[in-house]
Amino acid sequence: MKKFVYNFKEGNKDMKSLLGGKGANLAEMTNIGLNVPPGFTVTTEACIQYDEEGKTLWPQLLDEIFEKLAQLEDETGKTFGHGENPLLVSVRSGSVFSMPGMMDTILNLGLNDETVISLIKKSGNERFAYDSYRRFIQMFSDVAMGVSKSNFEHELEKMKHEKGCENDTDLDASDLKLLVERYKEIYKRELKTDFPQDTKEQLKLSLKAVFDSWNNPRAVIYRNLNEISHKLGTAVNIQSMVFGNMGDRSGTGVAFTRNPATGENKVFGEFLMNAQGEDVVAGIRTPLSIDELESIMPAVYNQFMKTTQILENHYRDMQDIEFTIEDEILYLLQTRTGKRTAKAAVNIAVDLVEEGKITKLESVGRIDPHMLEQLLHPSFDEKEVKNHELLAKGLPASPGAASGQIYFTADSAVEAKEKGISVILVRQETSPEDIAGMINSEGILTARGGMTSHAAVVARGMGKCCVAGCQDIRIDEHAKTMKVKDMVLTEGDVISLDGSTGGVYLGSIPKASTSLIENFEVFMQYVNDFKTMKVRANADNARDARKAIELGAEGIGLCRTEHMFFDEERILNVRKMIVAETLEEREAALKLLLPYQKQDFIEIYEVMKELPVTIRLLDPPLHEFLPNTDEDIKEVADSIGKTFDHLKDVVERLHEFNPMLGHRGCRLAVTYPEIYKMQVRAIIAAAIDMKKENIDVNPEIMIPLICAKSELVYIKTFLIEEINSVFEETGETVEYTIGTMIEVPRAAITADEIAEEAEFFSFGTNDLTQMGFGFSRDDSGKFLDDYTKKGILDYSPFETLDIAGIGKMVKMACTLGRETNPGIKLGICGEHGGDPKSIAFCQSVGLDYVSCSPFRVPIARLAAAQAAIDDGTVRDK
Ligand code: ADP
Ligand code: MG
Ligand code: MG
């Protein structure tokens, strides 16, 4: 017969799935000799079976429970529901994962009108007995029977008011006795039946309530949100009571074995004298710091300090402990791994390694890569956030926190910044022309666009806070207003952005202090010991490249050349090139751009030195370059000696219905080879300059948007010709490679053919996702939410790689590519390159590197190390 009930002595910490986290740890603490009030755990399997039995407690289960209860009576020398020394218990739920929304704990169960009298006699403390009874009636009614606790709290307040006292500790025995009577009346009034005097009945009803709470709506929503299975069930712990409310030699508290905010190796905790259960967290009275226990009860304090050490050494991690002191005897009621800030997490991980308590490998596994974001970006002071109105919520596009005055155009942002103003740039959406405005802003807010919109991608690259796709705001760029809720904000008004949550707040919010802690570098060294994939960064200029190196990047995986073209000094020549109607005109414009391009690459090479730099040849949808306003058209027309009308006509002809699928990427070079020729000339000439300074740089020339081998061959041929002529002209040669992005589905499918001509593949998973799903990146914000809300997709495929579909294409392309070109280098440069789950996938298909925005490099490094550890590629050193 299956066993459904375990005495604490029968369990251990590894039995979490059966006993729940709380039960497994109560068992573990019991068995390592700590002072835990005896008790037993009803298993999670019983909870599941309870559902299958039509939500009834079946006889065999009840037999087992009451048999264990009888043993508990023997163990404690107390009797349940009668006798001179009554046994009281707590009923505590505890699932495998701690879960808010589940049932609360019931304390002091076993009290009735008879046992309360015995408790008075036994303890000689009438006040304590009635205090316990009134607590029990309230908790049982609220938690097990659904009578709102406000009924009782109201009565308690009334009583305090009548007595003219402030704290519940000021109420005396007769007050509490009267309160018990009033509480029983409330019970009867609300439930039309008397408060149960049968203690077995109390226990059964409580047990059912815990089991039922597994399926209460809050718990179900929480599990859905956190992808926790509904089949796990919750365990129920039934434990003999100890009393922190027995008087001035008793108390209750919570403590962390190290400081959870800073990681400092010093016990951090709070306690209350003469209190029970959740009084400390409920804020009924102001608790004392654990340090003060030393003067109140030195012996208990010393014992407690020793116990924290025992627990931490045993669990080999910082613990979060709940304890009670009854008449100067210390009891442990719970222990679990303590939650902590990112700063504390890193400090504790490194300290534990240095104290010899855990290995480096273990320390690497202990930190959630996402947590590092907290360390890399500023954040608001949490206490301050509460004082500011939340105006709207957008997408958390680029982490960080920023406050400043709003400006609606890039130019006005730049001007304001020059006056020393902190700027928040507010745009419908951004385009490459807003770059200067973005650089000069503290943060960026857009009304449209998703996680891979221009604003999001560029802001992440800059490490700048950005909230994108904030649908709740209406922006009028001409009127320079932003409508949100029933407010109209105008230029100069102050708002704050939280790029980690997507929150937009009114006013300026002070920031919490940030500085990379010393241990961060130490920890990242551990990370490097284990990761096998390289981590590169996406960087388009020397500034980003330097940041990338600083954060540990091992190369550039994507240098986008179009951003370089948008520089104010060049845009005119770029436009001339685009609207050129003859080869001569175009070549003339390109000739003017060449020196700039070469200088761009020299600057990047100077930072990256021998490290690989993947340079993607031009890939913007054409419309992004076109002169838009009449003013711009006129400027271009004048400078090339054409009429306004003529040029306007040219621009209109260049208009595309679907620019994302239009004349972009290598297609541009099929029509106008001279553009890419100029770019490779700049890449190679810059490399030759570096060689003269004895630096052998490593350019990897990457062709975007390839869909067929023949297309690649066509382009490669003229690129190589051009490169060879640079070699001839200069009498120098340099090493380089030519490869392609795999971002069009057809390229993934014909990767074996393409690999014959490519020295590397870099998966452009943004486009591959866009084209694979047929979801426009720029428009999907409008409907993707519905897909995740309605459970059609588990997550946005633009944030985490869709492993089942897009991932399958990536995997297939890797296999096919290696078939015809075994030495082919494989990487990823889409936004997914910085996402931990996607990185684990990259490891599994054997990519050589991932590439992500500079500020995500540490996150990617950690995720890569964890992926290598998890798949068994590396072992402990
Ligand atoms: P939660 O999961 O919400 O922390 P617990 O089951 O840990 O709920 O119970 C909350 C508090 O109730 C504990 O921290 C402890 O102070 C008190 N408590 C629980 N069981 C007992 C007990 N057997 N004796 C004394 N206090 C108890
Ligand atoms: Mg607890
Ligand atoms: Mg692309």
pLDDT tens sequence across 166-198 = 888 889 999 999 999 999 999 999 999 999 999
- 467 pLDDT exceeds 60? yes
The residue type of 96 is V
- Please check whether residue 449 is in contact with residue 845, taking contact to mean a CB–CB distance below 8 angstroms: no
Q: Which residues contact 238 (CB under 8 A, 6 or more apart)?
A: 39, 40, 41, 42, 65, 68, 69, 72, 89, 90, 91, 92, 203
For the stretch 667-687, pLDDT in tens is 999 999 999 999 999 999 999
Q: What is the pLDDT of residue 626?
A: 80
DSSP conformation class of 86: B
621 pLDDT more than 80: no
Q: Alpha helices of 229-288 — where are they, by DSSP H?
A: 279-282
The reported pLDDT for the residue numbered 142 is 93
pLDDT of residue 98: 79
Report, as an integer, the average pLDDT of 831-857: 96
Contact 127, 134 (CB under 8 A): no
Question: Please, which pLDDT band fits residue 873 given cuts at 50, 70 and 90?
Answer: confident
Q: What is the mean pLDDT of residues 823-851?
A: 96
Assess contact for 741 and 720: CB atoms under 8 A: no
Can you tell me the distance from the alpha carbon of 855 to that of 458, in angstroms, rounded to the nearest whole number?
Answer: 12
pLDDT confidence of residue 160? 92
Binding site membership of 143 for ligand 1 (Cβ less than 6 Å):
no
pLDDT at position 515 is: 57
The CA-based diameter of the chain, rounded to the nearest angstrom, is 108
> Contact 234/102 with Cβ under 8 angstroms?
yes
Q: What is residue 451's three-state secondary structure?
A: coil
The H-or-E segment that residue 705 falls in is none
Please say whether the beta carbons of 266 and 289 come within 8 A: no
Closest to 355 in 3D by CA, of 258, 272, 435, 289: 258
DSSP 43-68: -HHHHHHHHHTTS---HHHHHHHHHH
The residue type at 370: H
The mean pLDDT of 790-814, rounded to a whole number, is 95
pLDDT at residue 103 greater than cutoff 80: no
Q: How far is the CA of 322 from the centre of ligand 2 (A)?
A: 6
**Does any ligand 1 atom lie closer than 6 A to the CB of residue 20?**
no
426 contact partners, CB below 8 Å, separation of at least 6: 406, 407, 408, 444, 445, 446, 473, 475, 482
Q: How far apart are CA 858 and CA 852, in angstroms?
A: 10
Does residue 472 or residue 202 have the better pLDDT?
202
Nearest to 855 by CA among 549, 630, 598: 549
Is beta strand 423-427 parallel, antiparallel or unpaired with respect to 401-407? parallel
Ligand 1 in contact with 324 (CB < 6 A)? yes
Q: What is the pLDDT of residue 702?
A: 98
- CB burial readout 716-732, b (16+ within 10 A) else e: beebeebbeebeeeeee
- Residue 139 has phi, psi (to 5 degrees) of -65, -45
- Tokens (6 digits) for 828: 């990823």
CA distance linking residue 699 with residue 736, whole number of Å: 5
Q: Is the CB of 109 under 6 A from ligand 1?
A: no
Three-state DSSP state, 563: helix
Q: Is 388 exposed, middle or buried (0-12, 13-18, 19+ CB in 10 A)?
A: middle
Q: Give the pLDDT band of residue 334 (cuts 50, 70, 90).
A: very high
User: 336 CB under 6 A from ligand 1?
Assistant: no
Task: State how far the alpha carbon of 281 is from the alpha carbons of 75, 275, 447, in Å.
Answer: 31, 11, 40
3-state secondary structure of 147: coil
pLDDT at 855 over 70: yes
pLDDT band for position 283 (50/70/90)? low
**CB-based contact 208:103 (threshold 8 Å):** no
Count of C-beta atoms within a 10 Å radius of residue 339: 12
pLDDT number for residue 646: 87
27 band by pLDDT with thresholds 50, 70 and 90:
very high
Radius of gyration of the chain (CA): 34
d(C-alpha 437, C-alpha 442), whole Å: 10
Q: Which of 231-235, 429-433, 486-490, 598-602 has the lowest mean pLDDT?
A: 429-433
- The CA 91 to ligand 1 mean position distance, Å, reads 9
pLDDT for res 877: 54
Query: Over the range 458-484, which residues count as b (16 or more CB within 10 Å of their CB) and which as e?
Result: bbbbbbbbbbbbbeebebeeeebbbeb
Write the pLDDT tens digit of every residue in 351-409.
999 999 999 999 999 999 988 987 888 889 888 998 999 999 999 888 889 999 999 99
Q: Is residue 829 flagged as an active site residue?
A: yes
Q: Indicate if ligand 1 lies below 6 Å from the C-beta of 241.
A: yes
Query: Is it the case that residue 548 has pLDDT exceeding 90?
Result: yes
CB of 320 closer than 6 A to ligand 1? no
- Write out pLDDT tens, residues 761-788: 999 999 999 999 999 987 888 898 899 8
Measured in whole angstroms, the distance separating CA 622 from the mean position of its chain's CA atoms is 36
> Residue 802 and residue 798: Cα distance in Å, rounded?
8
In this structure, are residues 20 and 94 in contact, taking their beta carbons and an 8 Å threshold?
yes
Phi then psi dihedrals of residue 442, to 5 deg:
-80, -35
State residue 377's pLDDT score.
Answer: 84
Residue of the nearest CA to atom 9 in ligand 1? 105
Cα 239 to ligand 2 centroid, rounded to whole Å? 13
* Distance from Cα 276 to the centre of ligand 1, integer Å: 9
Q: What's the pLDDT at 631?
A: 87
Among 324, 326, 335, 339, the mutation site with the greatest number of ligand 1 atoms within 8 A of its Cβ is 324
- Alpha helix stretches (DSSP H) within 734-774: 745-749, 751-755, 765-773
d(CA 682, CA 696): 16
> How far, in Å, from the CA of 769 to the mean position of ligand 3?
10
Amino acid code (one letter) for 25: N
Burial 546-571 (b: 16+ CB within 10 A, else e): bbbbebbbbbbbbbbbbbbbbeeebb
Q: Residue 680, Cα to own-chain centre: how many angstroms? A: 40
How far, in Å, CA of 216 to CA of 209, rounded? Answer: 10
Say which ligand is closest to the CA of 276: 1
Instruction: Indicate left, alpha or beta for 379 from its phi (over 0: left) and psi (-120 to 50: alpha).
Output: beta
Q: What share of the chain is helix, strand, coil (3-state, %, to 5)?
A: 50, 15, 35
Atom of ligand 1 minimally distant from the CA of 104? 3
- In this predicted structure, what is the pLDDT of residue 364? 97
pLDDT exceeding 90 applies to what percent of the chain?
76
Mean pLDDT of the 103-110 span = 90
Least confident of 94-103, 536-545, 657-666, 794-803: 94-103
What is the overall mean pLDDT for the chain?
93
Query: What percent of the chain has pLDDT above 70?
Result: 99
How far is 847 from 838, CA to CA, in rounded Å? 12
Closest ligand to Cα 105: 1
pLDDT given at position 753: 98
Best of 239, 322, 330 for a ligand 1 pocket test (most atoms within 8 Å of beta carbon):
322
Q: Encoding tokens for residue 517?
A: 């802690």
What is d(CA 42, CA 60) in angstroms, rounded to the nearest whole number?
A: 13
| Distance in Å, CA 690 to ligand 3 centroid | 29
* Other CB atoms within 10 Å distance of the CB of residue 387: 11
Ligand 1 proximity of 26 Cβ (cutoff 6 Å): no
Helices of type H across 551-643? 562-565, 568-579, 583-608, 630-640
pLDDT of residue 280: 74
Please give the Cα distance from 184 to 657 (Å, whole number).
74
DSSP secondary structure letters along 332-360: EEEEEEPP--HHHHHHHHHHHHHTTSS-H
Q: Which one of the listed residues 454, 465, 559, 666 is annotated catalytic?
A: 454
Which entry of 829, 832, 842, 852 is annotated as an active-site residue? 829
Under the banding of pLDDT at 50, 70 and 90, the label for residue 516 is: low
580 lines ligand 1 (CB under 6 A): no
Nearest-atom number in ligand 1 for the CA of 237 is 6
Active site residue 707: no
Average of pLDDT values for 849-860? 95
> Given its phi and psi angles, is residue 230 left (phi above 0), alpha (psi -120 to 50 degrees) or beta?
alpha
Average pLDDT of the segment spanning 215-237:
87
Instruction: Return the residue matching tokens 């755990």.
Output: 41
Question: Closest Cα to residue 802, out of 837, 847, 764?
Answer: 837
Residues with Cβ within 8 Å of residue 827, at least 6 apart in sequence: 536, 557, 614, 760, 761, 762, 763, 847, 848, 849, 850, 851
Beta bridge partners of 558: 538
User: With 90 as the cut, is the pLDDT of residue 623 above it?
Assistant: no
Q: Which of 60-74, 446-460, 585-599 shows the lowest mean pLDDT across its residues?
A: 446-460
Three-state secondary-structure class, residue 259 = coil
Q: Which residues contact residue 756 at a Cβ distance below 8 angstroms, ignoring those fewer than 6 apart?
A: 709, 820, 821
Question: Could you tell me the distance, in angstroms and rounded to a whole number, from the CA of residue 336 to the centre of ligand 2?
Answer: 9
More confident residue, 598 or 571: 598
Q: What pLDDT, in 10s, does the model give residues 234-282?
A: 999 999 999 999 989 999 999 999 999 889 999 999 999 999 987 776 6
Model pLDDT for residues 408-451, shown as the tens digit of each residue: 999 999 999 999 999 999 999 888 788 889 999 999 999 988 77
In this structure, what token pair is assigned to residue 563?
């951003």
Q: State the Cα–Cα distance between residues 772 and 766, nearest whole angstrom.
A: 10
Ligand 1 touching residue 245 (CB < 6 A): no
> How far is it, in rounded angstroms, from Cα 760 to Cα 386?
50
